[in-house]
Structure 1
Amino acid sequence: MFNHIVCRYNEIATKSGNRSVFERRLIDNMRMLCLRAGIRLKFARMRGRILIYREENSEFTEEEREKITSCLKKCFGLDSFSFCLEGTPDMKSVMEMVEKTVPAAFAPLLEKKDTVEFRTRARRSDKSFPLTSREIEIEAATKIEELIGAGHVKVNLTNPDITLGLEVREKNSILFYDSVKSAGGLPVGSNAPVLALLSGGIDSPVACHMIMGRGCHVNFLTFHSYPYTPTETVGKVRRIATLLNRWQAPGTLYACNISEVQKLIRDHCDPRYRTVLYRRMMMRIASMVCREKKLHAVVTGESVGQVASQTVENLSVIEKASDYPILRPLCGLDKNETIRRAVELETFPVSIEPMPDSCTVFAPPSPVLHAKLHTVEFEESKIPDMNSALEKAFQSIESFSDI
């Protein structure tokens, strides 16, 4: 019965000077996500809202509603949306929409209970409209009682079975029932693109997802240690990257073999510093990728105190090897919250598949917990031809854009 979708944003509304830039980016992203599902839509900007419809203005089928809902729930920058009817900005049109939709909307509830509790919610953005928002709500509630019968409906303003929403604007009116929560945040692409260090674990995919919500398009860099890790290691990360790309225009996955660098560290450096040194080498290679691909920051799944390399001292030493800002979205989360988000993101089942990764290769039995920069730099000075080894690893990077 619905032929439009009304879309609401939240954080974008605070961007007073350049709100239109964010709105256009949001529309581009919604269009892209729906086209990916084979659905072509039209978009119209209204004050504080975006209206979606089809060129032929026909009603959405149930199958189309399911596909569109799945797409829009993954759209950062969008706070919520509702399938709706659009009418003209007058009470005659509003009442016609109420009459058209109420019987079908209330029927499933009336099959389960004798009396349906409901409320009406109206928003009048056109202050020249002759009725107040409260008066519109009363008119709509009265019409519902007429259509269903006073004995079968009851007003409940706090915990209703169903809510009828109305918006009366300068150029149109809108009627809707359910609101679907979306991803919130800022539209992907409204901030600078970044490079995320993506492993096959639980944490880094969640970090990628969180930074997308701050408007950054994410490309991915994974490290492997073939032949010390199996080729399936990269395949697992590709599957995770594919899941993450459902939330954005596809980012590219870069895969770097770091085994030769690790062997140099193993053979020439104090074993206690291996993990910190590995991470510093990864930061250097990530900086090289950022420079070549014009990316502006490095994202990691590091938290604080979770493993030996993530003490505050070690994190400080590690990040000094990077030429770019290090973003760590998980620093404020505990492990249980990260796992909960990974489950919602649907990356968790892939992440827990047993598979060795580059961080476990030649891992020391007793890693240093409180590394000092001067000591780490001394250990690095023992590595012969370190820059040459890093350049060789960088040149070996494989790119996967078909994810």
Structure 2
Amino acid sequence: MSSDQTDSKAATDPAGPALPTSEPESPLLLLRFSGDLTTKADATRRRMTSRLVENLRASIKASGRKGRVVRARNRVFVELAAVTETGEAAQDLPSDEEMATRMARVFGIQSVSLTQAVEWSTLADVVSAGYDFGEPFVRDRRFAVRARRVGDRKSVPLRSGDIERDLGEVLRVSSAGVDLSNPEATIFVEVDAEQAYYFVANERGAGGLPLGTEGRAVSLLSGGFDSPVASWRLLRRGVALDYVFCNLGGRQHQFETLEIAKRLADDWQCGTRPRFHAIDFSAVSSEIQDKTTTRYWQVVL
């Protein structure tokens, strides 16, 4: 499945998509929307979510891994294709964990988990699958189980406390004991009406609004620290940026600033095509030096 494909029914069915199966060869990433996105009105959220999905697809494509994006109401799933290449070709592709980190850098995402999804119908199903997933992580370690229901809670006839108690009881046999205050391993369980999702870690996302949903702007890069930070903060609010650099320091300074702009573009601007404009300011600088007092150069500039 190419990275540009998505389940058309998943993108249009308001009741929620049929989620991808969690076979070992198809790693599944669970992406949660940022609070900035979930608090928007329905029409605005639909527009922003569509842009977010486009940005995720662009990031997957740029990574070299193949994957499929599936959208639900308050979250997005990325089903990664198994790595079939061998040797150097496989080494060039990002790992599942590196893909989780990459997805976390897409603005509009609050957190990412590399997860295992299992269909369930009873509490026993959730506990059994949770044992299969969690036992290797808790073996000979102090552990805790954190469970919660997601989506329409009326459609999940289970209590979070029951899941934590029953799953914790079966895992306790292999562990060094339960430790709710300072566990060495934590098994997280999220249950919706159809599937249970198991994971052991969250990759914190950038949050904010999907890039490109709040128009375009130009950022003036100087080559120092302040302007890239200011640019990043604008990107986080959904503003797509182009960059302008007024060159006062010669060719080397321009290359250094271009490297900063490229880092911003590669790491944080998937889904847009930022431009870098370098302006030769040597003539302006010379005229300022010729016609103003030295102590006013910086002020005039």
TM range (shorter): 0.7 to 0.9
Which amino acid in structure 2 is aligned with residue 242 of structure 1? K
Q: What residue is the counterpart of 1:167 in the other structure?
A: 190
Match of 1:213 in 2: 236
Distance in 2 of aligned mates of 1:103 and 1:23: 36
Query: Are the counterparts in 2 of residues 120 and 141 from structure 1 also a CA contact under 8 Å?
Result: no
Question: Is contact 2:65-2:80 (8 Å) kept?
Answer: no
Q: Deviations over 1:223-281 (max 9, x none)?
A: 114xxx33111111111111111211341110001222233333334554432332xxx
Alignment partner, residue 164 of structure 2: 137
**Using the alignment, how far apart are the partners of 2:70 and 2:133 within structure 1?**
23
Partner of 2:138: 106
The answer as to whether partners of 1:200 and 1:233 remain within 8 angstroms in 2 is: yes
Does 1:3 find its partner at 2:27? yes
Note the alpha carbon deviations across 1:26-64, whole angstroms, 9 max, x for none: 222222122211012112222321111146899xx9952
Matched residues in 2 for 1:184 and 1:4: separation?
20
2:158 maps to a residue whose letter is L
* Residue 23 of structure 1: aligned partner: 49
Higher helix share: 1
Q: Give the Cα–Cα distance (whole angstroms) in 1 for the partners of residues 76 and 275 of structure 2.
A: 30
Q: How does 1:74-85 map to 2 (within 5 A)?
A: 74-85=105-116
Question: What does the per-residue CA deviation read over 1:109-146, in whole Å, with 9 as the maximum and x for residues that have no partner?
Answer: x3xxxx52323322253323332222222222122125
State the AA in 2 paired with 1:26.
Answer: L
- Secondary structure of the corresponding residue to residue 90 of structure 1: coil
Counterpart of 1:223 in structure 2 is 246
> Are the equivalent residues in 1 in contact too, given 2:121–2:194 (CA < 8 A)?
no
Amino acid at match of 2:186: T
Gaps of 5+ in 2: 1-23, 85-90
Question: Do the aligned residues in 2 keep the contact of 1:9 with 1:79 (CA within 8 Å)?
Answer: yes
2:268 aligned residue (230, 244, 247): 247
Is the contact made by 1:124 and 1:132 (CA closer than 8 Å) also made in structure 2?
no
Q: Which of 256, 271, 275 matches 2:279?
A: 256
1:137–1:117 Cα change, 3 Å: closer
Secondary structure of 1:33's counterpart equals helix
Cα gap change, 1:35 to 1:199, in 2 (>3 Å):
same
The answer to whether 1:154 aligns with 2:177 is: yes
Q: Could you tell me whether the CA contact under 8 Å between 2:27 and 2:82 is conserved in 1?
A: no
Please say if residues 30 and 77 of structure 2, whose CA atoms lie closer than 8 Å, have aligned partners that are also in contact.
Answer: yes
Whether contact under 8 Å (2:126, 2:163) holds in the other structure is: no
Structure 1 residues 124 and 259, CA gap change in structure 2 (3 angstroms): closer
Q: Secondary structure at the match of 2:95?
A: helix
Amino acid at match of 2:282: S
Query: 3-state DSSP class of the match of 1:25?
Result: helix
> What letter is aligned with 1:67?
E
Structure 1 letter corresponding to 2:240: H
Give the residue type in structure 2 aligned to 1:259.
Answer: S
Q: Is the 8 A contact 1:224 1:255 kept in 2?
A: yes
Call closer, same or farther: CA 1:275–1:124 in 2, change over 3 Å.
closer
8 A contact 1:94–1:175 mirrored in 2: no
For 1:154 and 1:81, how far apart are their aligned partners in 2?
28
Q: Is the 8 A contact 1:198 1:237 kept in 2?
A: yes
Question: In 2, Cα distance between the equivalents of 1:117 and 1:64?
Answer: 26
CA change 1:16–1:163 in 2 (3 A) is: farther
Opposite residue 290 of structure 2, the aligned amino acid is D
**Contact 1:37/1:67 (<8 A) preserved:** no
Structure 1: tracts of 5 or more residues without a match: 279-403
| SS of match in other structure, 1:231 | helix
SS in 2 for 1:79: strand
Task: Name the % identity.
Answer: 25
Alignment partner for residue 60 of structure 2, among 23, 26, 34? 34
Which structure would you say has the larger Rg? 1
* Aligned with 1:66 (options 87, 90, 97): 97
Q: Say whether the 8 Å CA contact 1:119–1:160 is kept in structure 2.
A: no
Residues 124, 263 of structure 1: alpha-carbon distance in 2 compared, 3 angstrom cutoff: closer
Q: Alpha-carbon deviation of 1:12?
A: 0.9
Aligned length: 263
